[in-house]
Structures are given as C-alpha cells and as structure tokens.
Structure 1
Amino acid sequence: MKTIGMIGGLTWVSTAQYYRRLNEIANERLGGSASAKLVLASVNRADYTAAYLEKGDEDAAGDVVIEAARRVADGGADFLIICCNNAHRFVSRIEAEVGIPILHIAEASALEARRLGLDRLGLLGIRKTMESPFYADKLAEYGIETMIPNDADRTYINDKIYEELVKNVFLDNTRRGYIEVMERMQQSGSQGVVLGCTEIPLLVSATDTDIPVFDTTELHCQAAIKMAIGDDLQAEAR
C-alpha cells in the first residue's frame, strides 16, 4: 500500500472526518486489521486565513500549504491529498515546488459524475471556490459544466461556512437554507450539486434531498484509497 500524505487543519473539523473515513475505507477494502498508511501535516488555520482573508496575500497563503506539502513529502508520502477544496487553487505551485503527485479533489467528483452520466453540476463552497476558475477548469477537463448560485445565494453559502461550519456548528435552519439554494440551482439546470467545501457534507447529506449530491470528502477518500492500493481510478467512469 502506498502512503497517503494529508494536508489538514483547513479545518480540523473535516480533517478528522478524512482520517476516520480513510481508515474505515482501507479496512473495508483490505479486511482484517488493515488501516491506511498516512502522513499528516496539520496547519494552523489562523495563519492561513490571516494571509488570504485579512491581508489578501495569496502567496503567503500558498506558502502555508507548500510548507505542509514539504513536510508530508519528507515524511515519506507517495502522493498527496489536501483536506480542503479551496486550497486546491495552489496545486500547480505544489507540483512545481515540491514535486509530489496530488490527487485533485475535483477530479474525484468529476469521475463520479461521469460514472453517473451527468455533465452539468452546481458548485457550493466559499466564495473564492465558487467564483475562481480553478475548480470549474478541473471539472471541464472531464466534460463537466459548472454552475454557481446567484450572488445572494453565494453570500449565504459563504457566510454560513465561515460563521458556523468551520466552527463545528451545524444547524437545521442552515441545512434547510442550503437545500433551498440547491433546489434553485436544479431549477436552473444543474443535474447535481458538488458540495465543494469539506464541511458541507457534515451539514447536508444524500438523505436530506432527492438532488444528487457529491460529497467531496467521501469521494476524495474513496479515490485516495483506490490510488493507494493500486486500483484504476478511471475504470468505473469509462
């Protein structure tokens, strides 16, 4: 089994879910007492948010992620996963400066969409994830068109992530609000919705709505274990 490098702490809430699911999936696949081989570098989220939210310094924010990538590479990781959708905007820098292979979280969702025969997905996440091209561009590589909510709904989704979800607060009213946004996106033509912040699947699950939802944490973990044990990630999507 290959060793999976994890960049966590962005936030600890979803990182804990990643650690649990990676080990559960490894045990399901391999049986016995098997667990995943992991190297985790958990960053101080305050350093990251101070860089890009307070100072607007993308280079400094990227430096936080790059330093963590170096730590997992030095720790013997064979490939890397970032336990945060938005931090994938630094993938090209990591690949150039650290040189470790990266399993992109949007690729995991794209492969699932192809398996299901869907080609137009809504995207929820923080405002930067929804409005920046890095996520939609990766989905487009697999023939997936990306839709985002209207401006008012983007503000609602973004603010609830920062005010509640990253603080491990999950409220029924917020769940209903998210589902209403998803329903509006479906009415506008989306065939499913990518939960493009790793805290959102802790709020909204497939059992809460008839709309196909793409749990990016779960899909990323499933793909990571497949990669670690040598399975073909593309097989089911063909």
Structure 2
Amino acid sequence: MNHGWRYVAALAALLLLNTGHGETAGRLTAVHALAPPLAGTADGSGFLERVVREAFRRIGIRLEISAVPAERALINVDSGVDDLDLSRASGFEAQYPHLVRVPEKTMDFEFVAFIPASASPFRTDDWASLQDRTVAFVSGWKIFERHVTRSRETVRASSIASLFEILKQNRAETVLLERWQGLQAARAAPVAVQVLEPPLARAEMFIYLNQRHAALVPPLVAALRQMKADGTYQRILRETLLPAASRKIDR
C-alpha cells in the first residue's frame, strides 16, 4: 500500500506539469473558518491543521494556512484566490461549481447545543427542540442557517469567540457550534457551560480544492488513508483532541 500511494502521487505530479500547473505544485494556500483545537492555533498545532498539512506533505506539497470568515473561504477557493478549504461537509460543490471534494473524510463534526452550566438541560433530539428558545450561532455556518427556523429569536455572532460572550451576557439561552471548537471557546471565554445530548447533527468533513488542482484528489485520498492505516491520524487525534474532551466546563 505504501508503494501504491507514492506511485499515485508521482503520477499526479506529472499530470500537474503536463497541464501547466506545475508551478503551483510545491506550495498551496489553504483557508478555513475554524477555531482551536481544530485550526487557527498560533503554532499551527490544531487537529485539522496537522492532519491536512501531513497529507499534503506526503505528496510533496507545502501549505500556507490562514483563517478567513466562513463565506469568504468558500468564495476564495471557488474563485481561485486560494487553493483549498481545509474542512467542509459534502455538498458544497453543487453551490460552488469550481470546488472539487477530496472524498476521504478528515473527521466527523458533531453540531451541538451549549447552555450555561446552571441551566436545566433538555434533550436535543432534533432541530425542533430549539423551538421557543433564544439561539445564537456564527453567521455563515450553513447548517444552522438552514435548520434553525423555529426559535423564538436568533442571534448571529461574528465569530466563535463572540458567540460565548453572547452567552455570558445572557443575550441567548443556547449557542450552537461544533463540539470541539465550542469546548475550547467556552474555556477561553471563560464561561461555565454544559453540552446537550444527543448532537443536533453529525457530518463527515472533507478537504475542498479549486478545480485546477483536481489531479491532486487521488494522491490525497491515498495519503489520508495511509495516515489512518499507519497510526499517524490516531496519534494526532490523541495529542490534540482527547485532552480537550469534556461534556461540562466549570469555572
């Protein structure tokens, strides 16, 4: 298997040279709208930063990773301003026709509700459980924009950090976010929260490339699978996400 993915990577490099994009093969720009512990860390040690950077390293490409607002990241990659989006759910290629998905998932996102630690918990079996509640989420997060339609009031936050300030100031009863980023942001706020179960939704996450880099899809799939097979993926997970695992954060 090791020789197999190396062969595919070499073939992809030749394809890039033959299609006139060889000058971009050594270094690409990646964007994201994520927060620690997944990305956006000062030293680049976020889980997805490390996973995606390692996958590209294995096919001979260096990444320059930067954070931009959620909608801007999609537009930048679709228009070719940047080369790839670090992590998105499937389906964005329908709305952004110049995006190409790498069909090997990088992780699963669990979209959950956070409430103050002192509040009475309730089950979040479906989106209807948010009915008649004041709910906050980050503007540009499509899953919440599509599904949060029956809350008493919706508050749009400009960033993940400001989302938990809204909760601290009692401007919302419930905030919605991906689990890992929410746990870290609550600690940083700081605000005492609890995570409601079960998750409102789960989604597999993928790398998206601008279509001019479509030849990189097969070697990236091979590299990600190799990382999972040789234990690299699991080691990065242990070092970045497991220390942050907690359902309740008290201050």
| Range into which the TM-score falls when normalised by the shorter chain | 0.3 to 0.5
Could you say which structure has the greater relative contact order, defined with CA pairs below 8 angstroms and 6 or more residues apart?
2
When normalised by structure 2's length, the TM-score is 0.37
Compare the two structures and name the one with the higher helix fraction.
1
TM-score of the superposed pair, with normalisation by structure 1: 0.39
**Which of structures 1 and 2 has the bigger CA Rg?**
2
Query: Higher strand share goes to which structure?
Result: 2
